């Protein structure tokens, strides 16, 4: 009986180490997942994609001044303003011609 106690402690220590290791792996995976989601959110930020002249759907380089649709994914880039009927940027809040809310 005296000999069994160290073995129990030994196995218990290994079990705890495995648990800690598993916990660490889960934490690291969570962090990477979170970073990935933040990156994804950044890449589809509409104002950001307008400022960088890229499609907010597929990342293709587009020209918001001349293109109505992204030629790569058919994402609509410009719409007719309901107030002045001029073309305006779909992803922005206000019309670029008359400043009315779209």
- Residue 81 sits in the site that holds Zn ion (CB under 5 A): yes
Give the nearest distance from C-beta 62 to Zn ion in angstroms: 7
Residues 6+ apart with CB under 8 A from 50: 56, 64, 89, 91, 92
Half-sphere exposure of 58 (CA within 13 A, CB side): 12
- Residue 96 sits in the site that holds Zn ion (CB under 5 A): no
Which one, 52 or 75, has the nearer CB to Zn ion?
A: 75
- Residue 60 sits in the site that holds Zn ion (CB under 5 A): yes
Tokens 């922005």 — which residue? 92
- Residue 57 sits in the site that holds Zn ion (CB under 5 A): yes
The three-state secondary structure class of 15 is helix
Which spans of this chain sit near Zn ion (rule: CB under 5 A)?
55, 57-58, 60, 70, 72-73, 75, 81, 83-84, 95, 97-98
């Amino acid at each position: 009986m005296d000999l069994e106690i160290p073995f129990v402690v030994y196995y218990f220590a290994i079990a705890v180490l495995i648990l800690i290791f598993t916990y660490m792996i889960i934490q690291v995976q969570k962090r990477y997942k979170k970073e990935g989601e933040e990156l994804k959110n950044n890449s589809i930020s509409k104002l950001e994609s307008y400022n960088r002249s890229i499609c907010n759907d597929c990342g293709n380089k587009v020209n918001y001044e001349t293109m109505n649709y992204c030629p790569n994914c058919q994402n609509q880039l410009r719409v007719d303003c309901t107030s002045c009927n001029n073309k305006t940027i779909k992803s922005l809040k206000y019309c670029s011609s008359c400043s009315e809310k779209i």
